Amino acid sequence: MTELATPRKIQPRHLDRLAIVYIRQSHPQQQVKHPESVATQRRLCERIRQWGWPEDRIRVLEGDLGKSGASTVGRDDFAWLLSEVALQHVGLVAGFQINRLSREDETICRLIKVCCLFDTLLADQDGVYHPQDFNDRLVLTIKGLVGGVELHQIQQRMQHGRLERAKRGEWLGATPMGYVLGANRKLAFDPDEQVRHAVRQVFEHFERLGSVSALLRHFRDHDLRLPIRGPAAAAIAWRRPHRETVRNLLRHPAYAGAFTWGRRRTDPQRAVAGRRGTGRVALAPQDCAVFLPENHPAYIDWERFQRNLQHLYRYDPSLCKYFGRICGQGLTQAGGRAVPEICLSDQVLA
């Protein structure tokens, strides 16, 4: 905001009501890494005081710090702001940028419409806007919609960079047990022979025993543990295996030497608004955005990996969602019941 004098759009009826400064950052990490952003947004209060609002009628909303503007779910301060505007308690809503108020097109347009209906001004670092004025409403709408476009472009750039690295087979994310990152950013066997032996034991005993429950009993009876490598490369903790740890190890294609990226896609119909990571659906390895067989050293071959998945599915059909497509034909008998065979790959991998 550049005006030094009180803008003509601010009338006594606006000064009689509240002036609200809405402060938001999209992620908790931004609060730690970029504290100056919050301080800059708070300084809007100084300009509002210059425009004539007394201190007792200025409210600063910080409850939505660390929450994404892509949804209104969980943003209690924003919901309170809308309700106060509708009750005609607010004369001015200020944010560092209009699209800071919301990154969701429908939400920002609804806010502008409510402010227009109840004669509430909007302000950002560039100036003051009266939504009842057509030109101001047009500028507000464009600025608000640009926020959604900007968010899409940021995500697109980030995803493109990760995709290019994935196409080269460079490992992204946490390193699986029994592996370390090599100089080329691809997976390499853990240099610790004891760690490699522990991982091989899981596959050997599972093939012999045939179920996760039997494998866990064997590890418990013989007091066998699995390695967890900490943030420091030299730190290794040995812990009793959990059921989900063993399942993840057995169904991860990395242990068969295959690199996959995009193993889970988001289904909009299953996603819960405001909750990150919901609505994800697992894909078969060959259906991933990037699938590179024989990308790095393997603990087992691809055929053995497929057999392991079939064993897992026989004893727990609910796990099929992790194991790719189910063929429309072909049933195997397991425990007296018919179980559909799992088709994990249409291609034969050597």
Q: Spell out a b/e string for 70-86, using b for 16 or more CB atoms within 10 Å of the CB, else e.
A: bbbeebebbeebbebbe
Question: In terms of DSSP bridges, do strands 18-22 and 58-61 run parallel, antiparallel, or are they unpaired?
Answer: parallel
Contact status, residue 95 vs residue 111, Cβ threshold 8 Å: no
d(CA 217, CA 35): 50
Picking from 309, 295, 324, the residue whose alpha carbon sits closest to that of residue 179 is 295
Sheet arrangement for strand 90-94: 58-61, 18-22, 90-94, 121-124, 127-129
For the question of residue 26 being annotated catalytic, the response is yes
Tell me the C-alpha distance between 208 and 190, whole Å.
Answer: 24
Other Cβ atoms less than 10 A from the Cβ of 14: the count is 21
Residues 26, 68, 71, 102: which is the catalytic one?
Answer: 26
Selection from 72, 63, 79, 131 nearest residue 104 by Cα: 72
Enzyme catalytic residues:
26
